[in-house]
Each structure stands twice: as structure tokens, then as C-alpha cells.
Structure 1
Amino acid sequence: MSASPSSSAQAAREVLAARLGDLRKDAELTGHELALRCGWSPAKSSRIERAKTPASDADIRAWCKACGAEDQTADLIAANRQADQMYVHWKKLHRHGMRRAQEEIVPLYERTRHFRVYCSNVVPGMLQTEAYATALLSTIATFQGTPDDSATAAASRIERSRVLHEGNHRFALLMEETVLRYRIGDAATMAGQLGYLLAVMALPNVSLGVIPFTAQRRVWPLEAFYLFDDRQASVELLTAAVNVSAPSEIAVYAKAFSELSKIAVHGSDARALITEAIDSLG
């Protein structure tokens, strides 16, 4: 099994910690001497330098000042914030409701030319109907204990999905057959959602594949992930969104998508699975 996606953020923090350690050594300070200059315990210096405790902006300012390296402060704070953005807790992202989170990623959607999306749990956001999105987002808000603005957030999600029909975008989407069977909302909501999948498959810029229950697995079911060109991978965990930008990690997700594509069915075979799911609603 691979390491948790949150390891990307931890790796970035370890790089930052190493840079702080180098500043201390260049200043010829011991950890104890640094702590005295910063006004905190030696244990804190050690935890920061070993990447056991994330450094705050204030910590970095104090560290750089103690080492006579104030000119490094801005770059190190920027690196620290970038590490934090890799791993964003949903409750923090949704603390004012979910509509804003939908709107904030519109620029990313607009500049992406090639989307590769894999979902093992729900219909990909860009293919959701408004009723399905409302039911799903309301459930998420209740579970997270965050403000329930699911109706307006769903409307924003649908507006964001205009990239399917506007601009020069290509979409390759994969979902497990289980996604077709999980009941999000009532039977009418699911029927409308599955019917919409059949309609969107006809778009010339959309490739939609379904991985059947019976497929011989080349890759085990994974967490949902979105690839935006070759620049970013966004991974959805229960508690957080992980944004990966390291080329080596993006390549791993691209490889996983390629392998999953090989066991998916497309075209008439995919339509048959969707139709069967509709028929099962009764």
C-alpha cells in the first residue's frame, strides 16, 4: 500500500525544517542558544527542526531573526504556507458553507485543458445534476457540522460545470460501478442523475468509463482524485483535500488512471451498466 497522501504536505514541511536547521548551523547556534534568542523552550526548537511541530509564521520570523537571516523570512513563510495548502481540512474549507469552495476553484477549471477524474464513491462533481449535488452536499454538511448551504452550493457546482460545454476542454472520467448503485437522494434523484450520465456521454469532448463489479483488478479501488492537466492532482479524503503538485506524484496518479482505464468499459457497455442501474431503481 502507498503512503497516505498527506505525506506530500509532511515532505514539504521536512524540507522547510531542513532549511531552518541550515540557518541555525550557518549562524553557529546550538538548539539551546536559538531557543534562548527566540524566547521558547529548547524542545520547541528541536520539534520544529525535526518537522514534528509545524512552524507558524511567527516562529519562522523569530527563527530567522535569531539567526541574522531576516532576508530569508518571506521565502520561508511562503514555503510554509504552500505546505499547508497541500492538505486542507474540509471543515476549514467549508466553515462558511460550501458555495464559496465551489466558486474558488472555477479558475482552475477554466484553465485546465485535460481533465482526468476517477471516482469510487460518488458521481464526479462536474457530472452531477443539481438535485444529486444538493442531496450529497446536504449530507456532507450534516456530517461535518458545517453550515448547510447545499442548495446554493449545488447551483454553484452546476455553474462551474459549464466547462463541459464551453472552451477547449477534454474530459476522461472513470467511476466504479458501485457509484451507479449508491443511493444519493431518493429514487427520482438517482434516476435523473443516471439519465444525465447517459446524455453527457454523447458529448464529443467527454469519455466516460465504468469499472464493472466483475473486472479483474489491475489497481485496487482508490480514493477519488482529479488530475488537472499535468500540473496538479487533487485527492479527496474523508477529512481533507490533498493538493499534489510534485511531478513525481502526479505521474503516479496518471499511471493509476491509465491502469484503471484498462479495466473500465466505455460506449455501449458502459451505457448498459448505467441502464441496468436505472432499472434497479424500480
Structure 2
Amino acid sequence: MSSVQEARAALGALLRELRQNATFTVRQLAEVLGWPHSKVSKLENGRQTPTETDIRVWTQATNAEHETDGLLARLRTLEFQHVEWQRQLTSGLKSHQVKLTELNARTRFFRVFEPTFVPGLLQIPDYARFRFEQSGRVFGVRHDIDEAVYTRIQRQEILYRPEKRFHFVLTEAVLRYRLCPAAVMLGQLDRLVSLSMLPNVKLGIIGFGVAYDVAPSHGFWLLDDDRVMVETFSAELNLAQPQETELYGRIFAQLATVEGISYGREARSLITKAAEQWTTYLPER
């Protein structure tokens, strides 16, 4: 179980305990609340996350209103760990970028692994636009793409702060996946070359020929030693338990030092070779 699943299961177990203490069966409580009995079962078994309203009516129905604040605190912790994109993006794409800006301002050491696309802090505006347009197509949020792009590019100002350190590890696939037009990707690759020369930025590229010690299952951001951020198609996971940050720290260290990884001139050489391939995709003049 992930910590998110564990937290949801633990919250469900507490709700079940309140129901049992009130001597309700699942069906009886469902009737009192006017819910399908399947909802009560899903909440108790951690297959569904309750809302604040769900918790309030549950504790009221089971005469356990003194437990409400504690359960709500657990729910908010769970929501910090698992934030569904559909809910997070209801206020638009820009608002999430603003939250990230505030989080980045507090972070001094960034360790980032990405196997699929260029990390946001390294993106050029046109590449960022294609990333946001993809999210827009999936979640139907398209009204503030310009503002989101602008805010993401503003975030990159922190790359030039000497007190900040950045270590990015990308797979060679990031340089070659066709996620945007060739002209955009050529500009993006040029940007990677430039940023790799900043004194506080370390950029590693794991080439296709490298044998992995740890499979590149998914991307993640390790912010100081305090938080790991993982993006899935449906949600953003925020992992903050010490055992989780320590685990991801070890995984990042293994990926960042895998035999054959390229840094400096070797990394820029891989980027240049990828750019040469991208020129073949440009439309003929």
C-alpha cells in the first residue's frame, strides 16, 4: 500500500468504528443518510475518499460529533497527499502554477527525474503551451493557458538564484518523444543546452544504451528532504513521510549515478544528436 491508500483505509476504519459503536448495520446507516449502501461500504473500506460533508453527516448520524474535527484533520492530510487533477484544475491551470511558485520559493535543493517530458522549470514557452494544451484536452480546462504559460516561465527565475541548487536527470527518450512540433522541440533542446551550463544546475541524461539499476517507472520531484511530488494522469501525489522521502532520495541517487549516465559535454552531445534527428521532421521549404 502507498501512504495515500493507507491513510484512506485508516480513515475508513475510523468511520466503520463509529457506525459499529452506534449499532448500525451498513444498510441501516445508508438509509439514515439517504445514501446507497455501496457508498458506506466504499468509504469504510478505503475505496472512496469522503468529503467534509460526508464526515459531518456521518458523525451526526452516529452521535459522534466530538470526533468530527479529528476526522476532518485526517481528511485534509489525505487531500494534501492525493489531489485529483479534475478538482485541482477547476480554478484553472494558472492557479496550480501559482501554488508551485510558492512551493519552489521555499525549496533550496531540487532533485528531479523525468522519463517522458522536459520538466516545467526547463521548458520554453511553446513547449509549455503544448503540455498545458494536453491537460486541457484531458480535463476540459482551456480558458487560461496563456496565463499558465506566463506563470510557469516566471517560475524559472529561481534557476538564477545562487542559493538554489538543481539536479535534473532525464532519459534520452525525453529528447526524442514527439510531444510537440519539430520547430518547438529544436528550441527546447537549445534551451536545455544553455541551462546545463548554469553553475547551480546539474543535468544528467540517461542514454538508450545505459543498463538501469532501477527501472524508470515514473517521474518525480524531490524537494529538499521534505516532499516528493509524483504526477499521475488523475492526480498529484505529495509524499512527506520520512521513509518515503528517504526511499526516493535513494532511488534518485541510483538513477543519477547509474553507470553510463552523461553529464556536461557528454549530455550536451546527446542533446545535439537528438536535435539532428528533429531537423529531419521539419517541413521542407
Offset at residue 272 of structure 1 (A): 0.9
Match of residue 74 from structure 1: 69
Match of residue 265 from structure 2: 268
Kindly indicate whether the alpha-carbon contact (under 8 Å) linking 1:95 and 1:147 is maintained by their aligned counterparts in 2: no
> Is 1:279 aligned with 2:276?
yes
For structure 1, the 5+ residue unaligned runs are: none
**Aligned alpha-carbon RMSD (Å):** 2.5
Q: 202-211 or 87-96, which moves further after superposition? A: 87-96
- The separation in 2 between residues aligned to 1:189 and 1:270, in whole angstroms, is 20
**Residue 124 of structure 1 is aligned with which of 119, 130, 154?**
119
- The separation in 1 between residues aligned to 2:17 and 2:255, in whole angstroms, is 43
Q: Encode CA deviations 1:38-71: one digit per residue, 9 max, x unaligned.
A: 5457665444333234333233223333444323
Match of residue 60 from structure 2: 65
Q: 119-128 or 92-101, which moves further after superposition? A: 92-101
Match of residue 147 from structure 1: 142
Amino acid corresponding to residue 224 of structure 1 in structure 2: G
Amino acid corresponding to residue 187 of structure 1 in structure 2: A
Match of residue 235 from structure 2: 240
Offset at residue 32 of structure 1 (A): 5.9
Q: Encode CA deviations 1:65-84: one digit per residue, 9 max, x unaligned.
A: 34443232112112113213
- The separation in 2 between residues aligned to 1:62 and 1:148, in whole angstroms, is 36
Offset at residue 194 of structure 1 (A): 0.9
Match of residue 138 from structure 1: 133
Kindly indicate whether the alpha-carbon contact (under 8 Å) linking 1:96 and 1:147 is maintained by their aligned counterparts in 2: no
SS at match of 2:95: helix
The TM-score normalised by the length of structure 2 is 0.86
The TM-score normalised by the length of structure 1 is 0.87
Q: Encode CA deviations 1:100-138: one digit per residue, 9 max, x unaligned.
A: 211122111000111110111111100111121122222
Kindly indicate whether the alpha-carbon contact (under 8 Å) linking 1:34 and 1:66 is maintained by their aligned counterparts in 2: no
Offset at residue 222 of structure 1 (A): 1.9
SS at match of 1:281: helix
Kindly indicate whether the alpha-carbon contact (under 8 Å) linking 2:26 and 2:41 is maintained by their aligned counterparts in 1: no
- The separation in 2 between residues aligned to 1:238 and 1:162, in whole angstroms, is 28
- The separation in 2 between residues aligned to 1:219 and 1:237, in whole angstroms, is 19
Identity of aligned residues (%): 34
For structure 2, the 5+ residue unaligned runs are: 280-285
Q: Encode CA deviations 1:228-267: one digit per residue, 9 max, x unaligned.
A: 1121111111222222122222222222211111222211
Offset at residue 203 of structure 1 (A): 1.3
Kindly indicate whether the alpha-carbon contact (under 8 Å) linking 1:17 and 1:49 is maintained by their aligned counterparts in 2: yes
Equivalent residues in 2 for 1:1-282, closer than 5 Å: 7-24=2-19, 27=21, 29-31=23-25, 35=29, 38-40=32-34, 45-166=40-161, 168-263=163-258, 264-282=261-279
Q: How many pairs are equivalent?
A: 276
Q: 58-67 or 28-37, which moves further after superposition? A: 28-37
